[in-house]
Amino acid sequence: HFVSNLSTIVVGLLSVIVHWIPFLKKYVGNSHQTKAIFGKQESLPYIEPLLTTVWETPIISAEIGHFLESNGYLLHIGPGKFEFGKDKYNHFNGLALLHQFRVEKGTVPYRSKFLQSDTFKANSVHRIVISEFGMLTLPDPCRNIFEYFISKYELPALTHSTTVNYVQYKSDDYISTETKFINKVDIETLEKTEKVYWSKFIAVNGATAHPHYDLDGIVYNMGNSYGLHSSCYNIIWVPPEKVDLGDTLHGAQVICSVASAESLKPYYHSFGMTENYIVFIEQPLKMNLWKIFTSKIQGKVFRRISWEPQYNTRFHVVNKHTEQLLPRVYYSKRFVTFHQINAFEDRGCVVIDLCYQNNGRNLEVYQLQNLREAGKGLDVYNSVAKSFPQRFMLPLHVSFLLLFLNASEEENFSLLSYSPTSAVRQADGKIWCENLYSENLKEEGGIVFPQINYGQFSGKIDCFFYGCGFQHLVADSLIKVDVGDLEVWREDGFYPSEPVFVLVLGTNEEDGGVIISVVITPKQNKSNFLLVLDAKNFEELGEEVPVQMPYGFHGTFINADPVHLTPADCVRLSEILRVRSQSGTAVTASSRMALQPHRVAGDFRWHGAGISRARCALRSRR
């Protein structure tokens, strides 16, 4: 829907001219070559077997002991098929392989299955025909000359393969990526049951794979809408219950839109949410439509996303209840974040924790040919910008603070006694946020894929988070961060997946649970295994489920047991419903039912023991 076919052809012809004229060619790409290097590594271990096509696995059983009090499904997803004939995907493009560990009474049956998406079915045995994230399919060489020429000017077909994350809407399970499609799946059989289009319900071109879940069952997400002259970021609201059994995204609404500040189309992977606000970060990582349209003509694999460091970063805040964008925009120096982890409100501020990179070129490194290198070929690791936890503070009542403090034209707001982060009002009236930076993770190669106790501490002040250390191009350790102290699990030659926090039922402690991770190895004489760690001290509680898995992305645990809301949850939910009632937001029947102290899992299965989403943060004790 970006442009007409005629304008696409014109853009393509211009790109050919640019390709021929060196003076103009420099304007097609980005000339910035900034690198961020921490913890230089040499002679990294060979990891190609972790990024190799595998077969589906029928059900196999293993014992893990009674370390998990909850019964449920540990689900992981990631690429599992990288080649069709001579055509190869890069790491982000491999077609989705679904992994299921069914945890029940000390046994953990495992199975895997390829998502039977339209893309999986369309790609023939000999070539890739559907474009994926970060790459573009080239014309079919078997066409005649005229068809071959015309095919260069066709808009690329978008993928239907969803490889990023499991999400839930109205208690149904979906596999999501960032396009306008999501695939509904049966988590017991791993069968795809339906393909659902966001664009059939709301005017967006796609939505993130990291929605947020309110205690009353309402789901929030964000999606882009592109136009010829402008783009918008849209806050999406999905109701908690179905009207009938056939409902999917029915009733979804765009409750607020934020206009893009630049002409380049925005890219973001997640967003933040407190009890009352949505926090969106507009970063200098952009969808480069020029490259999309010109790459096919030039016969080059392209990058759909470009790092544009000439732009700064902006924070936008939306009130969930009034559905209004706050008039003030907050600024920061340029950075990139993929996972905004936790956000909360304190002392008149929104505080947001996130994983921060000062360079947006990492996607260019994470190509399959780089990951399959050996020896010095893996030294490309040293050009990767490492990810570190950061905290930003956004004061909500700046005018009042200026009056109260009798401030001059410039004022530094340091409102959190437990955190040195601050915000500075400059003479032009703009608020610039100064981040709190933690250096104690440099030796671990930074941290990514972190998670928190999402069910109990999302939107609240918290102290702990868990994540993966990156002393390689893939994660090679698990880390618990308690303010400045670290607990680290590492075993040479083994590579853990994103940690999934599973709550021990009946506890209110933030780290009262276990961490589950699937640990894989390229060594032929070693086995992959399922690792269970005590979330408090990282003591190993169980392992040994031999599985065949390539390196993947996100995971979640879906509890099959009844869910009991704690008294604190009931108080919090009552407050949410009161605020919604006062603001005119609809209060649903399922929201009222959730106030029952022993609500059985069903509509609220997501609130069970650890349906945690990938999040990261720098926690500071109050």
Give whole-number Cα distances, 480 to 67, 352, 466, 535, in Å. Answer: 19, 19, 4, 8
CB 429 within 8 A of CB 409: no
CB 497 within 8 A of CB 552: yes
Q: If you average pLDDT over residues 313-338, what whole number do you get?
A: 93
Lowest model confidence (mean pLDDT) among 308-312, 343-347, 410-414, 590-594: 590-594
Tokens in use for 63?
Answer: 């014992």
**H or E, element range at 314:** strand 313-319
Residue 454 CA to residue 452 CA, distance in Å, equals 5
**H or E, element range at 285:** strand 285-287
Q: If you average pLDDT over residues 73-98, what whole number do you get?
A: 76
Residue 5: is its pLDDT beyond 60?
no
Residue 373 CA to residue 379 CA, distance in Å, equals 9
CB 468 within 8 A of CB 479: yes
Q: Give the confidence band of 256 by pLDDT, cuts at 50, 70, 90.
A: very high
Q: Give the confidence band of 475 by pLDDT, cuts at 50, 70, 90.
A: very high
Locus of tokens 């480069």: 288
Residue 148 CA to residue 555 CA, distance in Å, equals 41
Tokens in use for 527?
Answer: 């086995």
Residue 171: is its pLDDT beyond 70?
yes
pLDDT given at position 158: 53
pLDDT given at position 585: 55
Q: Give the confidence band of 407 by pLDDT, cuts at 50, 70, 90.
A: low
Residue 524 CA to residue 399 CA, distance in Å, equals 64
Average model confidence (pLDDT) for the chain? 75
Which of these, 601, 582, 557, lies nearest to 590 by C-alpha position? 601
pLDDT given at position 242: 92
Q: Give the confidence band of 87 by pLDDT, cuts at 50, 70, 90.
A: low
Q: Give the confidence band of 607 by pLDDT, cuts at 50, 70, 90.
A: very low
CB 305 within 8 A of CB 285: yes
CB 393 within 8 A of CB 351: yes
Q: Give the confidence band of 74 by pLDDT, cuts at 50, 70, 90.
A: very high
Which of these, 415, 257, 423, 372, lies nearest to 325 by C-alpha position? 257
pLDDT given at position 510: 93
Q: If you average pLDDT over residues 341-352, what whole number do you get?
A: 92
Q: If you average pLDDT over residues 380-407, what whole number do you get?
A: 77
Q: How far is CA 43 from its chain centroid?
A: 30
Residue 34: is its pLDDT beyond 80?
no
Residue 586: is its pLDDT beyond 70?
no
Residue 156: is its pLDDT beyond 80?
no
Residue 293: is its pLDDT beyond 70?
no
Give 381's DSSP letter: G
pLDDT given at position 26: 33
Q: Give the confidence band of 562 by pLDDT, cuts at 50, 70, 90.
A: low
CB 615 within 8 A of CB 342: yes
Q: If you average pLDDT over residues 400-418, what whole number do you get?
A: 63
CA count, 13 A, side-chain hemisphere, 285? 22
Locus of tokens 């023991």: 609
**H or E, element range at 488:** strand 485-489
pLDDT given at position 51: 85
Residue, of 277 and 22, whose pLDDT is higher: 277
Q: Give the confidence band of 409 by pLDDT, cuts at 50, 70, 90.
A: low
CB 158 within 8 A of CB 13: no
Residue, of 358 and 399, whose pLDDT is higher: 358
Residue 617: is its pLDDT beyond 70?
no
Amino acid at 337: T
Residue, of 512 and 6, whose pLDDT is higher: 512
The per-residue b/e assignment along 434-457, b for 16 or more CB within 10 angstroms, e otherwise, is: bbbebeebeebbbbbbbbbbbbbb
Residue, of 343 and 52, whose pLDDT is higher: 343
Q: If you average pLDDT over residues 464-468, what whole number do you get?
A: 94
Report the percent of the chain where pLDDT is more than 70.
67
pLDDT given at position 512: 92
Q: Give the confidence band of 86 by pLDDT, cuts at 50, 70, 90.
A: low
Residue 302: is its pLDDT beyond 60?
no
Q: If you average pLDDT over residues 12-17, what whole number do you get?
A: 39
Residue 254 CA to residue 152 CA, distance in Å, equals 35
Tokens in use for 411?
Answer: 């004022």
Residue, of 93 and 188, whose pLDDT is higher: 188
Locus of tokens 């490259």: 291
Total residue count of the chain as it appears in this document? 622
Could you give the residue ranges of the DSSP H alpha helices within 351-510? 362-365, 368-371, 398-405, 454-457
Lowest model confidence (mean pLDDT) among 106-110, 248-252, 403-407, 546-550: 403-407
Residue 307: is its pLDDT beyond 60?
yes
Please give the model's pTM, rounded to 2 decimal places: 0.79
Residue, of 84 and 605, whose pLDDT is higher: 84
Q: Torsions phi, psi of 539, nearest 5?
A: -70, 135
